[in-house]
Amino acid sequence: MKATGIVRRIDDLGRVVIPKEIRRTMRIREGDPLEIYTGPEGEVVFKKYSAMGELENAAEACEVISKLGGAPAVIFDRDHVVAVSGTQKKEYSERRISAALEDLLEQRSSYSAASDGAPLKPIEGIDSRAIAMTPIISAGDVAGAVAFVSNGGDDVKANDRHVMLTKVAAMFLGKQIES
């Protein structure tokens, strides 16, 4: 763990304010669920909860759509890559989503390289572009996204199959989170 040097007091209702700088850095938004852990030496640790990270089916769904779509597939929660298939997993694993993808998720917007003008780089630090992307909606909230990506300089356009597969996988995973 990294020390921040910030000290906060608990109020009379047992609340602690997480400083704005930490919320911004960790992408913690109002209403985000946090998991609370305790350690043997008295530590209390808050960790962002990801329903997508709890799903056992995410990796399998990613593998199936990658094979059916003939392109690398990636499944995201609201912050990170959760599952990858069809490309090197080490390169993508646990990477943060880009600000552009985060904006699309906030708007609940889908993306298709065939119809949308500007290319979308969905992952920070990787030169891949989205071919097609659909947000995962569960119980009315955005839980993440399903996307096909191209590797580096590949200029792959989305087709109807890519778009449909991201929609199907997003709906399936959204229902899995709800149950």
Going through the chain in order, the beta strands assigned E by DSSP cover 34-38, 44-48, 73-76, 81-85, 111-112, 129-138, 141-150
Residues in the chain: 179
| pLDDT tens track for 14-52 | 999 999 998 888 888 888 888 899 989 888 888 887 777
Average per-residue pLDDT for the chain: 88
- Is the pLDDT at 139 greater than 70, yes or no? yes
Q: What is the pTM of this model?
A: 0.78
pLDDT band at 148 (very low <50, low <70, confident <90, very high): very high
End-to-end CA distance of the chain: 34
| pLDDT tens track for 62-116 | 999 999 999 999 999 988 999 999 988 888 887 999 999 999 999 999 999 877 6
Residue 82 is given by DSSP the state E
Burial of residue 9 (CB within 10 Å: 0-12, 13-18, 19+) is: exposed
